[in-house]
Amino acid sequence: MNDVFPPLPVPRVVTTDGRTIPVHRIHCIGRNLADHAREMGATPASPEARGRPVLFQKPADAIVTDGRVPYPSATHELHHEVELVVVLGADAPAGELTRGQAEALVFGYAIGLDLTRRDLQAECKAKSLPWDIGKGFDHSAPVSTVIPATEIGDLQALAISLEVNGEPRQHGELRDWIWDVPDVLIELSRLYVLRRGDLVFTGTPAGVAALQRGDRFVARFGTLLTLEGEIT
Ligand code: MN
């Protein structure tokens, strides 16, 4: 190889036992909890006739693992969306996954924030433009350490939550998702080849709101994982 310049460092997340996982892509699903879809002015999909989910991506190097998030450029409305993050540990077979194949891809879970420049996203929505500038910016994906799936019991029995400056902001029960983890992976597999190191942000509950410089946040996945950080 005769690279013109050396490659940039590969973004990595850390497991609860101190190993690292190189991140390949960051996939996200929108409007996966009915209460949040409503607060954004959308009609939530019903489990019986849910159609296709809203999917988008962030760049892999949007990952933040030390909790320090610089307030982003070009926005006056930075919003938090606390989300469970699925971490894939294997490459998917070709084609649309079965539920069993989807479950077998999962290495573990983290708690993260799908940070959003809400004013820019709203402009994009109003003009029927892609969401990239509202969602896929630098430092837009703070994540916790990753707990292996083998150390978790029934995912559907767990909850995610967010406090900002000690005040509760968001709380969601994972049994209330419209698309559960295998469902989300199956939907993604219709459109993309899923690979080891892919992260999937699985959607946020109601209560999204603005963050200001100096705000301190604590996101929790049950009592299993905590992500603490600050907007700098
Ligand atoms: Mn989100």
Alpha carbon of 225 to ligand 1 centroid (Å) = 19
Comparing 34-43, 169-178, 198-207, 214-223, the range with the smallest average pLDDT is 34-43
pLDDT given at position 129: 96
CA–centroid distance, 1 to ligand 1, in Å, is 39
From the CA of 5, how far away is ligand 1's center (Å)? 35
Q: What is the pTM of this model?
A: 0.97
pLDDT (0 to 100) of residue 25 = 98
pLDDT tens track for 127-137: 999 999 999 99
What percentage of the chain exceeds 70 in pLDDT? 100
Q: Cα(114) to centroid of ligand 1, in Å?
A: 5
Rounded distance from Cα 30 to ligand 1 centre (Å): 5
Q: Does residue 51 have a pLDDT over 90?
A: no
Whole-number pLDDT of residue 28: 98
Give the per-residue pLDDT at 31. Answer: 92
The per-residue pLDDT for 48 is: 73
pLDDT digits (tens, 9 = 90+) for 21-47: 999 999 999 999 889 989 999 888 876
Residue 49: its pLDDT value, please? 79
In angstroms, what is the span from residue 227 Cα to ligand 1's centroid? 16
What pLDDT score was predicted for residue 159?
97
Handedness of CA 171, 99, 199, 140 (dihedral sign): negative
pLDDT at site 134:
98
Question: In this predicted model, what pLDDT tens digit does every residue of 211-232 receive, in sequence order?
Answer: 999 999 999 999 999 999 999 9
pLDDT tops 80 at residue 141 = yes
Distance 83 CA to ligand 1 centre (A): 7
Question: Given this model, what pLDDT does residue 81 score?
Answer: 98
Average pLDDT over residues 85-107: 97
Average pLDDT, the chain: 96
The identity of residue 221, as a single letter, is: F
**Domains of the chain and CATH, by start:** 24-231 (3.90.850.10)
- Give the pLDDT confidence score for residue 3 in this predicted structure: 96
User: Residue 115 C-alpha to ligand 1 middle, in angstroms?
Assistant: 8
CA of 222 to the centre of ligand 1 (A): 19
Range of lowest pLDDT (39-53, 112-126, 160-174, 211-225): 39-53
Nearest to 183 by CA among 96, 89, 113: 96
**87 CB-contact burial (10 Å; exposed 0-12 / middle 13-18 / buried 19+):** buried
What distance in angstroms lies between residue 56's CA and the mean position of ligand 1's atoms? 9
Residue 4 C-alpha to ligand 1 middle, in angstroms? 37
